[in-house]
Structure 1
Amino acid sequence: MGAVGGLHRLHGPEAEADPMGLYEKLRAEHGAVAPVLVSGDLPAWLVLGHRENLDVARTPSRFARDPRGWRDMKEGRVPADTPLGPMVAWVPVCNFTDGPTHERLRGAVVESLERFDKRGIRRYVTRFANQLVDRIAADGHADLVSAFSDQLPMLVMTQLVGAPDEHGPRLVKAARDMLQGTETALQSDRYVTVTLEQLVRDRKVQPSRDLASWLLEHPARLTDTEVLMHLRVVLIAAYETTANLIANTLRTVLTDQRFRASLSGGHMTLPDALEQVLWDDPPINTIIGRWATGDTLLGGKQIKAGDMLLLGLAAGNVDPQIRPDPDTSVRGNRSHLAFSSGPHECPGQDIGRAIADTGIEVLLDRLPDLQLAVDASRLQWRGTLMSRHLLALPVRFSPRVVPEAHPHGEQPAGHPPHVVIPPQPTVRPTPAGTRRRPGWWRRLLARFPSGA
């Protein structure tokens, strides 16, 4: 693995191709906390131990979420165009704040999300999942990433945040485009922002039963900008993590015969299967970051005030101290780190689980003879510092007749209107060396100076 001055980089082809191999190498060399280099050879600490990850996540008094305490940033060593931009550039959202401000903002998000009826969410998922399966059922083959896992979460989340139905398919494309940093990422970014800005304006005039309306009317009295920012955070974060969770679970079902046999034989429920995948192949490998509020000791390492720490979620899930044999089942155990922990634990994890397990259930019920169409060794991922995204999951199955649409275009009670889902373009990874275009956070920083 690439190293400078004895420190391993967490970026580059080798690290992205086998992140788990790198984590184990670092654990063998350094123990539960390892010194590493991130983009631009910036120093950081990667937390590998399960217990140490919990310590960092649960004690914001020692390890703050606010990136303005990062010593390298304050001392001018972080390039303005760093690819870490969206993870280290402060904006007024709950995941970049601590203390009373965090409690106010997160409280509004959590309490608003809790107003959703879980059965209603599952009805949305069922409807959209069936629509997606309808598009491929007669073909006998498909790529489940582009045709299913990349689309379902955003179609559902569009309904939950309150965006108009016709924006769902375009938001799918725009979100993926933004996350890849393609040549059209700025246009996609603008589309997402304009859509949510209009949504906030509309819901101020005509409230509905959706996240935008509930954030606007919450007693925490969020500003319009705070509502917009949190809608965006929820939309993009839920999309990426849930899309990865669906793809990772489907890959496991299709490549691990014992796993599939346990699932199809009734020895494992689909929710159990999801938890196993959250242990073995979490949708986010690493969270950037936390910043030490003072000199402290962690995992036997001397951490200095202002140091950046990375939560190693995937590494912590296979910590030998809590999981000596990573091949063993952890059925019924939710102590994995997939959704982090502490005051910044993912507030939408139950919605993500509902989208994933209901969507996969529909898919496997409609296409029970799904088989991987290529050898598992040919599957490819696009790796980043934070996660790995499966590029394609080609499958084959017996072609099936698509059921007729509901008579006269009417929808069963409780279901969203039918959304016409257009074909999606082929998504290619950004070529090595291509400069990623600056994201939405650059413009927002102009509104919110670092001293705000």
Structure 2
Amino acid sequence: MTTYPPDRRDFSRSAPVRLWEDGFASDPRHYYGALRAQGPVGWAELAPGVPAYLVTDRRAALEVLHDEETFSHDPRAWEETVPADSPVLGMMRWRPNALFADGAAHVRYRTTLLDVFDLVEPYDLRARVQRAARLLADRIGPRGEADLVGDFSRPLLALVLNDLFGLPDSQGDRLNRGLGKMMEGGAQAAQGEAEYAGYVLDLIAAKAERRGEDLPSRLLDHPARLTQEEVTWQVFLTLGAGYEPTANLLSNTLSRILGNPAYYSTLTSGARPVMDAVVEVLHHETPLANYGIYYARRPVSFHGVWLRETVPVVVSYGALGHFAEQEAAPDRHPGDASHLSWGAGPHSCPVKQHTLLIVTEAIERLTQWLPDLDPVLPRERLSWRPGPFHRSLTALPVRFSPRSPASEPPDQPGVPS
């Protein structure tokens, strides 16, 4: 039996804050407040019977993100403690890729990702985004109304990423369905994981048979000589991480812009850059709210809490953003990038510049093409998808003046054409 130091809390007999409840999606600030009331580290539940330590303090978060000697990304000891049908396993189970590796293995996997993404030139990525945005704008333009989540943000990311990964446009719905179910961590999570894994397995099998000018082919041919299984799980990671969080960042940013008429008017006139809105979302409404997942390598005392090695330690980027917003200095510029949405330390996001380019270019093109977007609902009445890991809108309905696909968008000051 483990004996805990008398000055350190053991949460094992306390009621956790349940992040899997429907109420978390609609009002996460209430849940983060309950966690912060417990101190820098709170006691949460990611799914029924799946507890986690949630880090809500910036200083404590940075310690976790940088301390490789104390904290690991390898979840295999934890996996032995959870039911095989747990709805969060799809997002948290071990796979041989950069996310779940430490030390030399992590460096090897991460290096391959950096190398292949370095070959994606900004002008080429911008052209892919422009193509996708124009295709989608042509679809919705004549209707005069759209859902900017289902009709723009998610299909745009599917088009861009399928293009980069060497798949046809027609595969977008398959990508969307599988990842969406897995990310929400609900009753359909296992089905979503299986669908998405099948999608990736089919892709790698095709590229192993016949290479192309795409990211999976470059991974297969990388000097690190990854096995086909390793390439499969690298693509599983990068395609998923590229799609779901980026689509949510795009729709969350559009929501923030459209919910503030003064902001939108300055944006469409070119007086305020899109990046300001993107950074605001990364600060205060980050799309990947609770997915900085680590594990203590041994029982350890941390900020007044005794951490057990088989319980996830989750850096809550959502909670950090909420409390940073409360404590923000009045003179902080909206472009200040002091948020931690990209992570920090060895596992920080390796492709954040690609993500920012996709989101800013997509918004610039959409608002150039449809300059009078008008939200149907006030921002406080929008609904959010369930799930402990993300901050993701269900829909973002808008109206606008119908436009023919054949007509050209008007010139906008400050917006590249």
Tell me, yes or no, whether TM beats 0.5.
Answer: yes
The answer to whether the Cα contact below 8 Å between 2:286 and 2:391 also exists between their aligned partners in 1 is no
**1:336 maps to which residue?**
339
Letter of the 1:250 partner, please give it: L
Displacement of 1:319 in angstroms is 3.5
Map of 1:94-105 to 2, 5 A cutoff? 94-105=98-109
**1:348 maps to which residue?**
351
The residue matched to 2:392 in structure 1 has which SS?
Answer: strand
Letter of the 1:161 partner, please give it: F
The residue matched to 2:366 in structure 1 has which SS?
Answer: helix
Greater Cα shift, 205-214 or 91-100? 205-214
Map of 1:92-131 to 2, 5 A cutoff? 92-131=96-135
Letter of the 2:59 partner, please give it: R
Matched, 1:26 2:35: yes
The answer to whether the Cα contact below 8 Å between 2:88 and 2:189 also exists between their aligned partners in 1 is no
**1:143 maps to which residue?**
147
Displacement of 1:241 in angstroms is 0.3
Letter of the 1:12 partner, please give it: E
The residue matched to 1:302 in structure 2 has which SS?
Answer: strand
Distance 1:81 1:356 in 2: 35
Distance 1:145 1:352 in 2: 17
Displacement of 1:226 in angstroms is 1.0
Question: How much is the aligned-residue C-alpha RMSD, in angstroms?
Answer: 2.7
Displacement of 1:362 in angstroms is 0.8
Per-residue CA deviation, residues 13-62 of structure 1 (Å, 9 max, x unaligned), is 223321122112321x2222112233223332110011211211121221
**1:43 maps to which residue?**
51
Per-residue CA deviation, residues 130-182 of structure 1 (Å, 9 max, x unaligned), is 10010111111111111001111111011111223443454334443554579
The answer to whether the Cα contact below 8 Å between 2:186 and 2:387 also exists between their aligned partners in 1 is no
Map of 1:422-441 to 2, 5 A cutoff? none
Distance 2:270 2:54 in 1: 39
Letter of the 1:379 partner, please give it: L
Matched, 1:69 2:73: no
Give the alignment partner of residue 276 of structure 1, picking from 273, 276, 280.
280
**1:172 maps to which residue?**
176
Distance 1:386 1:14 in 2: 14
**2:5 maps to which residue?**
none
Give the alignment partner of residue 291 of structure 1, picking from 291, 295, 300.
295
Letter of the 2:143 partner, please give it: D
Map of 1:31-430 to 2, 5 A cutoff? 31-70=39-78, 73-74=79-80, 76=81, 78-179=82-183, 192-264=196-268, 266-287=270-291, 289-320=293-324, 324-325=327-328, 329-403=332-406
Distance 2:331 2:38 in 1: 25
TM-score (norm 2): 0.87
Per-residue CA deviation, residues 232-268 of structure 1 (Å, 9 max, x unaligned), is 2211221110110111011111112343244345443
CA spacing shift, 1:86–1:196, aligned 2, 3 Å:
closer
Distance 1:290 1:183 in 2: 25
Letter of the 1:15 partner, please give it: F
Letter of the 1:127 partner, please give it: R
**2:19 maps to which residue?**
10
Distance 1:261 1:384 in 2: 33
The residue matched to 1:222 in structure 2 has which SS?
Answer: coil
**1:432 maps to which residue?**
none
Distance 2:280 2:355 in 1: 15
CA spacing shift, 1:358–1:273, aligned 2, 3 Å:
same
Distance 2:126 2:67 in 1: 35
Letter of the 1:300 partner, please give it: G
Displacement of 1:193 in angstroms is 4.2
Query: Which ranges of structure 2 fall in alignment gaps of 5 or more residues?
Result: 1-11, 409-417
Distance 1:143 1:328 in 2: 35
Letter of the 2:242 partner, please give it: A
The answer to whether the Cα contact below 8 Å between 2:72 and 2:295 also exists between their aligned partners in 1 is yes
The residue matched to 1:54 in structure 2 has which SS?
Answer: helix
Distance 1:179 1:223 in 2: 27
**Paired residue total:** 397
Greater Cα shift, 154-163 or 345-354? 345-354
Letter of the 2:342 partner, please give it: F
Percent of aligned pairs sharing the same letter: 33
The residue matched to 2:133 in structure 1 has which SS?
Answer: helix
TM-score (norm 1): 0.80
**1:429 maps to which residue?**
none
Query: Which ranges of structure 1 fall in alignment gaps of 5 or more residues?
Result: 406-452
The answer to whether the Cα contact below 8 Å between 1:292 and 1:303 also exists between their aligned partners in 2 is yes
Distance 1:196 1:104 in 2: 21
